[in-house]
Amino acid sequence: MFPSPLPALQALAPLPEPRLSVADLSDWDPGVAVVLQGLGFLVGHGLACNAVCASCGAVHRFERLPNKPALFAAGCPDAGLVTRAAECLQDWTIAHASLATWIGAQMGASGDPQEVLPGQAWRWDRVQFAGARRALIVVRSPPARTSADAWQRLGLVPRAMLLSFGIKPLVSDDQGPVAFTAPVWSYLEDEGGLRLLVEELAQDVAATEQDRAEPSRPVPDKRATRSRTLGLLHKELVSHIQSAKDALRQGEALLPKPEQQWLAKAVETSEATVSRCLTEDESAAGLALRRLWAIAEDEDAVRVFDPNATQ
């Protein structure tokens, strides 16, 4: 079922208290359970007294034999008395705290973490990582977004790191500041032994902080931008009409009306914006611009043009 330790942890670690029988472990590739047991991530979780009988396929309750404490027996309608060794009835589970402690140690955390949420979250207050001293929180699964008390107990602070056995925790400003959050599986590999990709994690933490440190660009006010564009176009058309009027006084022909493409370049906007300003804008500035646009192609209107009358 699991070809290596990492897929087994990915599937089982997010669960609150997975129960695994000896039969379950036998479906894994050879050596996977041994590796996890050796790391302390897979631990015994009591004996399963109710087990499937190999003779009849039914579930029997096995009782410890009084004179043989390592042997259990059950009555089977087909085979009579059947026995099982204690190790064959052993249940196993994932030791979440051991896994969290191992992750912390890989990142340079010293000592045992504080279990801030029983069976769910473990925290170190001071871990030197990615160029700063940080709080490190490892969670089996993130608390519900509506659980304000649980998020408060995690103790999220600036530059905190939140790693999860499950999905990436969704942290909002209401839940607390956090520098970096990710599923821990993004930085684990088990080729040649299970290990945390510490350098890759540190690079991503530093890059995330740098992105957040850069000041965000203010969102432009569309109305203010349109008003500014109308004003610039107004100046360009007044200047053009004044030049056309001077040319007529000198006996020259009427200057051609400027093209919208040229106006767009002159005021550093798009041609589509110029078109909307000249044809669709119903504000006072838009209507005034439209009158200038009409004057620019009317020779008589150009001759009597008064720039002060357009203000």
| DSSP secondary structure string for all residues of 124-137 | EEEEEETTEEEEEE
pTM: 0.61
Residues 127 and 199 in one domain: yes
> Which domain-ending residue is among 213, 243, 261?
213
Please indicate whether residue 98 or residue 83 has the higher confidence score (pLDDT): 98
Please indicate whether residue 55 or residue 31 has the higher confidence score (pLDDT): 31
Burial class of 110 by CB neighbour count within 10 A (0 to 12, 13 to 18, 19+): exposed
What is the predicted pLDDT for the residue at 250? 85
The answer to whether the CB of 97 falls within 8 A of the CB of 90 is no
Residues 284 and 182 in one domain: no
Q: Are strands 132-139 and 161-164 parallel, antiparallel or unpaired?
A: parallel
Q: Which band of pLDDT confidence, cut at 50, 70 and 90, is reported for residue 173?
A: low
Q: Which band of pLDDT confidence, cut at 50, 70 and 90, is reported for residue 109?
A: very high
Q: Which band of pLDDT confidence, cut at 50, 70 and 90, is reported for residue 214?
A: low
What range does the domain containing 48 cover?
Answer: 5-94
Residues 202 and 127 in one domain: yes
CA distances from 169 to 37, 98, 138, 147, 270 (A): 28, 21, 11, 13, 42
Residues 117 and 209 in one domain: yes
Percentage of the residues of the chain whose pLDDT score is greater than 90: 39
Cα–Cα distance for residue pair 47/64, rounded to 1 Å: 11
Residues 18 and 34 in one domain: yes
Cα–Cα distance for residue pair 28/107, rounded to 1 Å: 29
Helix (H), strand (E) at residue 106: helix 96-106
What is the predicted pLDDT for the residue at 220? 55
Residue range 66-85: mean pLDDT, rounded: 86
> Which domain-ending residue is among 76, 94, 112?
94
Residue range 73-85: mean pLDDT, rounded: 87
What is the predicted pLDDT for the residue at 62? 82
* Count of domains for the chain: 3
**Rg, the chain, Cα only:** 37
Residue range 82-111: mean pLDDT, rounded: 90
Residues 108 and 156 in one domain: yes
Q: Which of 7-11, 15-19, 117-121, 127-131 shows the lowest per-residue confidence on average (mean pLDDT)?
A: 15-19
Please indicate whether residue 170 or residue 239 has the higher confidence score (pLDDT): 239
